[in-house]
Chain A
Amino acid sequence: MNRILADMKAFGTQYLRSRVGTFFALVFPILLILLFGAIFGSSGSSPVTLYVQDVDNSAASHAFTDALNKTNVTTTRAIPSSADFSQYIRDHSINVALQIPSGFQVALAKAQNGTRVTVNLTLAGDQTQSSYGIAVSAVDAVATAFNLQVAKAAPVVNVLPTSVPGLRHLTYIDLFLPGIIGFTILSTPLFGMTAICAEYRSRRYFKLLATTKLSKPEWLAAKVVFHIILLFASVALMVLVGILVFGLKAVVTPMAVLIIIAGTLEFTSLGMALGIFVRDPETGAAIANAIGFPMMFLAGSFFPVDAMPAFLQTGARFLPLTYINEGLRATMTFANDATALVDLLVTLGFAAVFFVVAARGLSWKSK
């Protein structure tokens, strides 16, 4: 035990003196939270800018534009009525634009008098952008309201948005934070351990350590314990920033603590197991990147696995990080410890396999 503590202390001292390691373990996740929180969080979201060419220039078309502004999801900007609509969009790199045609008010008036008539609004834009979808919804909603008004009808089916009973009122950060914790559980020990294995091999530290009483499992245990402490410091900072800046509601439950511990054991061991194949820092970085980067995107750290194509969802089931992300979301966001327990057990299974492979496979001796 003393040897583990001594190795952990010496390793930790060196790690914290290396500002790069400290930055990626403690500061980088905070930057991600601030960045993604600012982009997607409700507190900072801004309306979509919708360019409108009002060719009709009538009281009705003005009323339609005013209604769009009142939705709070779009703000309108005018395109000169004399401009070529398509050319203007291309020249100004506009994401989404609406054209209200000439005869808009006349058509509405005829409809109110019982004449069957149709007027088409043109909504042009880049359909791959999320802003286009938002604009379509807003324009569609306003058009529906105008149609009902013309028909002198009242809505029959209404939607009342409400929270799930017993569930905390969630914001984007509540869904995002568990993913970032999962990302940190993967990146800090995995990238760190492969780099350490490369350094220890190229500088012959493994051989040096093999002449002491420290065993490989003790050396690995020291790294696991250090990374667990580091991860808890990192999670504490993330939660603090989440609460102070974004009003985080998700809670670090005891189950989340267990998943963080198991996940750190898992990826510290995986990093050391990959170290079996590492001969120098270049191969260490290449191997860690090749495994770590696809996993952090495919395992649902930044967006839900459910949003991916079916074959990728199947693939995600084989990724150890998937269970950490899903387990943390289940317990921290939805207070669902039964589901999280399954994810914890799967994570512990992966961890045990990686630990045994690492402790047996990584040779400190020469052939």
Chain B
Amino acid sequence: MGEPVIDVRDLSKHYADIKAIDGITFNVEKGEMFSLLGPNGAGKTTTVEILEGLRDPTSGEARVLGVDVRTGYRKIRERVGVLPQDFEPFDRLQPREAVAYWAQLFDRTLTKKEIDDLISTVGLSDRAETLAMNLSGGEKRRLGIAMSLVGRPQLVFLDEPTTGLDPGARRELWGLIRQLKKEGTTILLTTHYLDEAEQLADDVAIMNHGKIVARGSPAELIAQYGRGSTIVLAGAGEDGLRAVQARGITAELQGVDVVVKVPVASDMRRMLEKLASIDTPLNEIYTRRASLEDVFLSLVGARMQEGVLAT
């Protein structure tokens, strides 16, 4: 295995009153899609901005494409694509103009065909001559991705690329990100959407309060921290909960659903049979595989909604 594309060792960023990053270590291999997952304020963007050469760390080491970003980012910037958090394109430029302009800032002059291809890659061909201010939120992020790709980068930083987008636009953007990965681009993706990390990432680092609290593939994390699967008695309500608990089964009420955790997969069949024998009104009964949401709850002790920890 060669040198990692990103190599972070004991990296810290401290301010007077807060430790934004507190001694994190991780690496990202070539062609990998790595996700930093965590709530707002966890330190994801600070980490990415250090890797982009936009902030200096307090201590530790951060190397990107083999160079120390503190001293050598200039040497690699044409090999790195960046989509910053809350990206807004230049309002009065058309996507075609914006892509051509951005390429020139990396000393590249794109041909018309190259521009068309890039615009087509992000699915904006029919909006190529629309002023950016008139694009939808999802289209603006697509334009941002097109701009980040003008130098044919080996590494792309996508900082919360789908935040604020509607579900349809998010899924369209996921397709585009998957396509980039398929073409061999290494991607560092930050997100506070658990399903996004689970769907897209090869490797996930869960951050909270500036620290990485868990690291691994989504499957590994779910296996290690997901506490097995769940059986849901939809619509069973409080009467259902009492009936289940009367049989000595541990359960909790989530809304009007009764939820039963099954930590060991081999116990699933026996538990299903036990629950099916309980005579209580309900809408349906189904099983749910553990997800990163369960992992996050297990590790952080709180659920996350739109980047905010639910108390």
A residues in contact (CB < 8 Å) with B? 2-3, 6-7, 9-10, 13-14, 17-18, 203-205, 207-214, 364-367
Complex Cα–Cα for A7 and B100 (A)? 11
A213, B101: Cβ atoms under 8 Å? no
Which A residues are in CB contact (< 8 Å) with B97? 10, 13
Give the CA-CA distance A3 to B101 in the complex, in Å.
Answer: 9
Contact indicator per residue, chain B 257-296, by CB within 8 Å of chain A (1) or not (0)? 0000000000000000000000000000000000000000
Give the complex CA separation of A203 and B87 in angstroms: 8
Q: Is A366 in contact with B55, judged by CB distance below 8 angstroms?
A: yes
Find chain B residues with CB under 8 A from A212 CB: 77, 102, 105-106
Q: Are B82 and A211 in contact (CB under 8 A)?
A: yes
Do residues A204 and B55 form an inter-chain contact, with CB atoms below 8 A? no
CB < 8 Å: which of A9, A210, A366 contacts B101?
A9
For residue B102, give the distance in angstroms from its CB to the closest CB of chain A.
Answer: 7
**Partner pick for B82 among A9, A14, A208, A364, CB 8 A cutoff:** A208
With a CB–CB cut-off of 8 A, which chain A residues contact B77? 211-213
Residues of chain B contacted by A203 (CB below 8 angstroms): 88
B88 contacts A211, C-beta separation under 8 Å: no
Whether A14 contacts B91 by the Cβ 8 Å rule is yes
Asked if B105 and A6 sit within 8 Å, CB to CB, the answer is yes
Interface residues of B in 177-204 (CB under 8 A from A): none
**A10–B107 CB distance below 8 A:** no
A-B contact pairs, 9 of them (CB 8 A): A2-B107, A3-B107, A14-B93, A17-B131, A204-B85, A208-B82, A210-B54, A365-B53, A367-B55
Q: Select from chain B the residue with minimum beta-carbon distance to A204.
A: B84
CB distance from B71 to the nearest CB of A (A): 14
Q: Which of B54, B78, B101, B106 contacts A207 (CB 8 A)?
A: B54
Give the interface size class of chain B.
20 to 34
- Docked-complex contact A204 and B88, CB < 8 angstroms: yes
Q: Is A210's CB under 8 angstroms from B53's CB?
A: yes
Is B92 a contact partner of A208 (Cβ separation < 8 A)?
no
Please determine whether B92 and A13 come into contact, CB atoms closer than 8 angstroms: yes
* CB proximity of A108 to chain B, nearest CB, Å: 75
Residues of B within 8 A of A365 (CB): 53-55
A-B contacts counted at CB < 8 A amount to: 68
Residues of B within 8 A of A (CB): 49, 52-55, 77-78, 80, 82, 84-88, 90-93, 97-98, 101-102, 104-107, 109, 131
A-B contacts besides A208-B87, A364-B54, 9 pairs, CB < 8 Å = A3-B105, A6-B101, A6-B104, A204-B88, A205-B90, A210-B54, A212-B102, A213-B106, A213-B107
Chain B: CB-nearest residue to A6: B104
Q: A208-B84, A211-B54, A211-B77 are in contact. Are A14 and B90 (CB under 8 A)?
A: yes
A253, B102: Cα distance in complex, Å: 39
Quote the shortest CB–CB distance from A217 to chain B (angstroms): 14
Q: How far is the CB of A197 from chain B (nearest CB, A)?
A: 15
CA gap between A3 and B53 in the complex, in Å: 20
Q: Choose one: B54, B80, B93; the contact of A10 (CB below 8 Å).
A: B93
CB pair B92 A18 closer than 8 Å:
yes
User: Which residues of the other chain, B, contact A2 by a CB distance below 8 angstroms?
Assistant: 104, 107, 109
Q: How far is the CA of A203 from the CA of B133 in the complex (A)?
A: 13
Please tell me if the beta carbons of A213 and B78 are within 8 angstroms of each other in the complex: yes
Chain A residues with Cβ below 8 Å from B101 are 6-7, 9-10
A209 in contact with B84 given A366-B49, A367-B55 (CB within 8 Å): no
For residue B107, which residues in chain A have a CB less than 8 angstroms away from its CB? 2-3, 213
Beta-carbon contact of A214 and B105 below 8 Å: yes
Alpha-carbon distance between A212 and B109 when the two chains are bound, in angstroms = 14
Q: What separation, in Å, do the CA atoms of A3 and B105 have in the docked complex?
A: 5
Chain A residues with CB under 8 A of B49:
207, 366
Minimum CB–CB distance from B193 to chain A (whole Å) comes to: 21
The reply to whether B55 and A10 contact each other, CB–CB distance below 8 Å, is no
- Separation of A6 and B98 alpha carbons in the complex (Å): 11
Q: A221 to B102: give the CA distance in the assembly, Å.
A: 17
Residues of A within 8 A of B90 (CB): 10, 14, 205
Q: Which residues of A lie under 8 Å from residue B85 when comparing CB positions? A: 204
Interchain CB contact under 8 A, A204 and B86: yes
Q: Does B54 contact A3, Cβ atoms closer than 8 Å?
A: no
A354 CB → nearest B CB, Å: 25
Q: How far is the CA of A364 from the CA of B109 in the complex (A)?
A: 25
State the Cβ distance, A131 to closest chain B Cβ, in Å. Answer: 48
For A214, the chain B residues whose CB sits under 8 A away are 105
What 10 A-B pairs are tightest by C-beta distance, nearest first?
Answer: A6-B104, A212-B105, A14-B92, A10-B101, A17-B92, A211-B82, A203-B88, A214-B105, A366-B55, A365-B54
Closest to B80 in A: A211
Interface centre among A6, A9, A18 (most CB of B within 10 A): A6
Q: Give the residue name and chain of the B residue nearest to A367 (CB).
A: B55
